[in-house]
Amino acid sequence: MRPSGLLTRSGRSQERPLTASSSAGPSLSAFARAFDLALKRYEPSIAALVTHLEAQGVAIDRATLRTWRLGQKPPSKARSFMALALLERRWRLPDGYFRRLLPHSDRAVGGRLAPGLTASEKRRYLWHLPEDFAARQPAERAEILAWVRRTFRSTDSEYRRYQSLAVRHAYAIRFPALAGWNTSPRAEIGRRLRPGTRIAPQALSDEMGQLLAFKTATFAPIGFARAGVWGAVTAAQKLEHLGLLFGALSAPPDGPSLGLGAPLEALSFALLLFPGVWDAYLGWRERRRGFFTVWEIDLLCAVGANADPRTGWIAQTPGLADRLQALDGMVTEAEVAAARSDWRGACARFRDFARMRVRELKRIVRRHHDPFEPVLPVLRSDSPVAEYRKIADEIRLRRPCAVRNPRAAAENARAYLMVRLALHLGFRQRTLRELLVRGRGERPTPDKALETVRRGEMRWNDLQAGWEVFAPPVAFKNNMSNYFCGRPFRLVLPDVAGLYAEIDTYLNVHRPVLIGAMVDPGTFFVRVPAKPQAPGADASFSQADFYSAWRALTGRYGVYNPYTGRGAIPGLLPHGPHCVRHVLATHIIKLTGSFEQAGYAIQDAPKSVERHYGVFLPQDKAAQATRLLNAVWAEGQVRVGSETE
């Protein structure tokens, strides 16, 4: 019996599929069976076939042909597909016959790309190039690369260029001795310093540690008064921001950051009481960015609050004056002497100065980054949630085979659930990435324990037969808002669009693949670090890891690529998880016109939604009012018609 789809001895090809299984869709097994049948019928000697390919200028060894024949590895390089094209002509098969049997790889064929690309660019761009990129004309390749760079490179907009420059020209002061205050200690411990980054002197590190202890302690130290407490996340943020402030003051003036040149050993919190220091810093910020933003306002407010004569840590720590030094152009000897003689008075004068500068800055600050820009095509649609859901559908459509590539399938399943849970919960990224999990049949973590670790948990609710997400108020950034009123968040997820099946498969199959031999961190979402076999490898997500994973999935599955036909939404840009809150808030506003109800979807106050999240354009407002008014006219027509009858 002659295998279907292969050439007969007369040279005529059959029109039926090569194998019965190929009708079920492309797969590695279908390709392997077809390739094996072809070899058995037309090539009595593999050595002769290798010789023929070498004569055509394509070197393929016997081991490679064997892996194709057994279905151990698919062709992936440009040379491999050239060999397949030669074999199709040799065996008189239709062009692209074998390629159509292979599953889509979601990336360009490996091999040489355009010259001038770095290795990292090749790795990143490979996902966004068409499979036949290497075979296209130079002008077309240049056009495709220009689009990929414009869409996926982080330096396309003014803000992205500024951020890229800031990353390349680092200037911050680091506090490795205070790594425990970092929300991701592994990011600080053992981290190699970038060029331009310096370690804080011991005296400054001690002062920073005292400030953090003062602002995070359960009770104010005896003899001190305090207004407000910092949580762990706020403390880590202030540590980072103050490190940038001191770094700018001490960066060399002739370096790439063009800093203010203060000696490293002269840095202290006492310096922050002098207007000359702040005017020099504000001038440096304006020269670097071109204008002022809320960053400068927030920093002035934070330091001004700590200089309050009644409740500020700086004002209540006069010993800081012992390390004061005059700085050329910023602090004079007379100012140092005046501050030492009247410490509380110096703090009060700076507090008044900070308030004045804040009022002046509020008139001229600009927004450097438009947070809505990456998802504008979604926000402008009639149903933003339905539009964003297309990303989840695209992820599931492109899911790899879990048997042949378990890690890729596991990362795909994780990406799908990241989008689904974000759309159902509306959590901020920290609350979402730190979400704990308990499987079916496991005992839920006690509520008090969750309050202690300030995290939520997904667990199976036997009474309601559903997956429940429970989170104490302290797990949220705005836990003191009226949304919570001191009560926990509790939501049973709906079993829609196969959500429960996806969760069960992820927990039972894919999540163990991602964790491997590492210690289970207990979080729902886990990752594979760069060196999973290294001692102490951590499977939990840090803030940067989670943002990068979200940006990668939106770039791979969300952004429509006109050259590959992949991607869900034209005009979308890669973005982070915070944009989902914009989508949810805007969707509710378009449906109801209510900022309060939009706040219910993202656990926030109406004013915050109006200021930061919802996009309610004039045309949206007019359209909603028109629908309500048109309903009155439609009711009137029905009533008049019935009276006429």
User: Domains in the chain, ordered, with CATH?
Assistant: 1-103 (1.10.260), 162-364 (no CATH), 384-572 (1.10.443)
Provide the pLDDT confidence category of residue 18 given band limits of 50, 70 and 90: very low
Percent share of the chain, pLDDT over 90:
44
What's the CA gap between 405 and 399, in Å, rounded? 10
581-591 in b/e form (b: 16+ CB < 10 A) is bbbbbbbbbbe
Residue type, 506: Y
What's the CA gap between 277 and 268, in Å, rounded? 12
pTM: 0.74
Q: What is the DSSP string of 568-606?
A: SBTT-----TTHHHHHHHHHHHHHH--HHHHHHHHT--H
Predicted confidence at residue 580, as pLDDT, reads 94
Alpha helices (H) in 192-326, listed in sequence order = 202-216, 232-250, 275-289, 294-306
Provide the pLDDT confidence category of residue 193 given band limits of 50, 70 and 90: low
Provide the pLDDT confidence category of residue 1 given band limits of 50, 70 and 90: very low
Predicted confidence at residue 6, as pLDDT, reads 40
Chain-centre distance for alpha carbon 350: 39
Q: Is-contact 329 123, C-beta < 8 A?
A: no
Predicted confidence at residue 2, as pLDDT, reads 38
More confident residue, 580 or 291: 580
Predicted confidence at residue 101, as pLDDT, reads 80
Q: Is-contact 374 574, C-beta < 8 A?
A: yes
Of 211, 325, 240, the C-alpha closest to 274 is: 325
pLDDT at 154 over 60: no
Among 212-221, 341-350, 461-470, 589-598, name the one with the lowest average pLDDT.
Answer: 589-598
HEC assignment per residue over 347-398: HHHHHHHHHHHHHHHHHHCCCCCCCCHHHHHHHCCCCHHHHHHHHHHHHHHC
Among 10-24, 281-295, 491-505, 548-562, name the one with the lowest average pLDDT.
Answer: 10-24
Tokens of 431: 């609350």
More confident residue, 157 or 513: 513
Predicted confidence at residue 585, as pLDDT, reads 93
pLDDT at 335 over 90: yes
Q: What is the mean pLDDT of residues 501-515?
A: 94
Provide the pLDDT confidence category of residue 630 given band limits of 50, 70 and 90: confident
What's the CA gap between 444 and 621, in Å, rounded? 45
What is residue 401's DSSP assignment? P
pLDDT at 117 over 70: no
Predicted confidence at residue 10, as pLDDT, reads 38
pLDDT at 187 over 60: no
Predicted confidence at residue 150, as pLDDT, reads 83
Tokens of 459: 């667990």
Q: Is-contact 1 87, C-beta < 8 A?
A: no
Q: Is-contact 614 624, C-beta < 8 A?
A: no
Chain-centre distance for alpha carbon 295: 21
Predicted confidence at residue 577, as pLDDT, reads 94
pLDDT at 493 over 70: yes
pLDDT at 614 over 80: no
Among 190-194, 247-251, 326-330, 579-583, name the one with the lowest average pLDDT.
Answer: 190-194
Predicted confidence at residue 183, as pLDDT, reads 47
- Please count the other Cβ atoms lying within 10 Å of the Cβ belonging to residue 477: 15
Tokens of 508: 């039972």
pLDDT in tens, 87-109: 888 888 888 788 778 765 555 55
More confident residue, 351 or 85: 351
Which CA distances in Å does 277 have to 274, 330, 350?
6, 5, 11
What's the CA gap between 60 and 88, in Å, rounded? 15
Percent share of the chain, pLDDT over 70:
86
Predicted confidence at residue 184, as pLDDT, reads 46
Q: What is the mean pLDDT of residues 69-77?
A: 79
Q: What is the mean pLDDT of residues 473-477?
A: 90
Whole-angstrom distance between the N-terminal and C-terminal Cα of the chain?
A: 77
Contacts of 589 (CB under 8 A, 6+ apart): 595, 598, 609, 614, 615, 616, 620
pLDDT in tens, 369-384: 778 888 999 999 989 9
pLDDT in tens, 28-67: 778 888 888 888 887 777 888 888 888 888 888 888 888 8
pLDDT in tens, 403-420: 878 898 999 999 999 999
